[in-house]
């Protein structure tokens, strides 16, 4: 990547708020996007303690921070503290992106669902339209995936979750396409998504035994650390088509870049920057 000039008095500041944020790949993705687009913008990681999300949103206005990515635990506080909310944020109650608009008001967006769908197209030329989807998990990421799949024309959405109450609440997001299910439904669906942290980092556990998967399955693990979880490796061994969480990460970031700058995101350069860092 070409070295970037140092920030100046007119550099536009953006960043990510969360706790923790030190591990985030977002600064690499967004700074690569700004550099590739020849924009005098910068993106920094801003650790914000639990309970201080709303104050951080107010600080965004005071400091003139043009855009913020929002990660846990502030996605709900950010949605509430913003002045305006996109349709997805109204439905999900959670935001992963804030935009300080020219009128001084802050709009909350959620780009996770669009990132998931765009990631499928980019990584494997696949769409969920007309296909049955099983989502393992019912937290923030699962809820965004469920809403996106319902809107993109999935034929059925089966939610499998540890706690039944949260699972039932997530099913409602899919309207009449949704039902609460169990792992027993895996052989009958076409697309399987792990939207839990099971298998993340050094956790050796798997959402369920990948032996239930077969070559007709498209399997997506939202985890990208490790790059290929043990479960995804198992799915590959069963002959399934597998996709890790990176395409979603990349494309939800790309959608944020577009919301902030009004430009198409240079996703090839963004991906290259991350691969250079982790290879
Ligand atoms: P979250 O809101 O905390 O939800 C976690 C979900 O996982 C809940 O449904 C929870 O079940 C379930 N769960 C947690 N531990 C479990 C276990 N040991 N066994 C079974 N189920 C378990 O988290 P989130 O924000 O949705 O994130 C979920 C995963 O998606 C994380 O790995 C995160 O890194 C990843 N993610 C990736 C992207 C991307 O761009 N690739 C974006 C967002 C998130 P209960 O309801 O029973 O507690």
Average pLDDT over residues 201-222: 96
pLDDT at site 213:
98
Measured in Å, residue 141 CA sits from the centre of ligand 1 at: 7
Average pLDDT over residues 50-54: 97
Q: How confident is the model at residue 1 (pLDDT cuts 50, 70, 90)?
A: low
- Give tens-digit pLDDT for 136-168: 999 999 999 999 999 999 999 999 999 999 999
Q: How confident is the model at residue 5 (pLDDT cuts 50, 70, 90)?
A: confident
DSSP annotation string for the chain = -PPPPPP-TTPEEEEEEESS-TT-SHHHHHHHHHHHTT--EEEEEEE--TT-HHHHHHHHHHHT--EEEE-TTSHHHHHHHSSEE-HHHHHHS--SEEEE-TTS-EEEE--HHHHHHHHHHHHHS---TT-EEEEE--SHHHHHHHHHHHHTT-SEEEEE-SSHHHHHHHHHTTGGGEEE--GGGGGG-SEEEE-S-TT-TT----SS-GGG--TT-EEEES--SSSS-HHHHHHHHTT-EEE-SHHHHHHHHHHHHHHHHSS---HHHHHHHHHHHH-
pLDDT at site 2:
56
Nearest CA to ligand 1 atom 4: 139
- % of the chain at pLDDT higher than 90: 95
Measured in Å, residue 178 CA sits from the centre of ligand 1 at: 19
User: Whole-model pTM?
Assistant: 0.96
- % of the chain at pLDDT higher than 70: 99
Average pLDDT over residues 5-18: 92
H, E, C per residue of 1-12: CCCCCCCCCCCE
Q: How confident is the model at residue 277 (pLDDT cuts 50, 70, 90)?
A: confident
Residues within a 6 A CB radius of ligand 1: 72, 112, 115, 137-142, 161-163, 166, 195-198, 200, 222-224, 245, 248-249, 252
Q: With beta carbons less than 8 A apart as the criterion, state whether 104 and 242 touch.
A: no
Q: How confident is the model at residue 7 (pLDDT cuts 50, 70, 90)?
A: confident
Adjacent-strand bridge partners of 178: 157
pLDDT at site 6:
85
Q: With beta carbons less than 8 A apart as the criterion, state whether 83 and 63 touch.
A: no
* Strand duo 218-221 + 12-18: pairing: unpaired
pLDDT at site 76:
97
> Can you list the domains of the chain with their CATH numbers?
12-110+248-278 (3.40.50.10860), 113-244 (3.40.50.720)
Average pLDDT score, the chain:
96
Catalytic (active-site) positions:
75
- Give tens-digit pLDDT for 112-121: 999 999 999 9
Average pLDDT over residues 83-88: 98
Average pLDDT over residues 44-54: 97
């Amino acid at each position: 990547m070409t070295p970037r000039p140092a920030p100046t008095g007119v550099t536009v500041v953006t960043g990510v708020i969360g706790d923790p944020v030190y591990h985030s790949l977002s600064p690499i993705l967004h700074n690569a996007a700004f550099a590739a687009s020849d924009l005098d913008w910068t993106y920094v990681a801003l650790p914000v303690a639990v309970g201080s999300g709303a104050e951080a949103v107010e600080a965004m206005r005071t400091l003139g921070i043009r855009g913020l990515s929002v990660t846990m635990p502030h996605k709900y506080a950010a949605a509430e503290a913003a002045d305006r909310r996109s349709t997805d944020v109204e439905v999900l109650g959670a935001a992963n992106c804030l935009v300080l608009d020219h009128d001084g008001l802050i709009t909350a967006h959620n780009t996770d669902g669009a990132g998931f769908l765009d990631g499928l197209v980019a990584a494997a030329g696949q769409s969920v339209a007309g296909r049955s989807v099983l989502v393992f998990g019912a937290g923030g990421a699962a809820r965004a995936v469920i809403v996106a799949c319902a809107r993109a024309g999935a034929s059925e959405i089966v939610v499998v979750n540890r706690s039944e109450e949260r699972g039932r609440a997530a099913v409602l997001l899919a309207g009449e396409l949704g039902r609460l299910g169990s792992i027993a439904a895996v052989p009958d669906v076409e697309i399987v998504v792990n939207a839990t942290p099971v298998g993340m980092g050094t956790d050796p556990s798997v959402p369920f035994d990948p032996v239930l998967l077969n070559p007709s399955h498209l399997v997506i693990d939202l985890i990208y650390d490790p790059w290929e979880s043990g479960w995804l490796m198992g799915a590959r061994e069963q002959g399934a088509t597998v996709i890790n969480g990176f395409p979603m990460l990349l494309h939800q970031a790309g959608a944020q870049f577009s919301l902030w700058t009004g430009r198409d995101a240079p996703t090839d350069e963004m991906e290259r920057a991350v691969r250079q860092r982790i290879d």
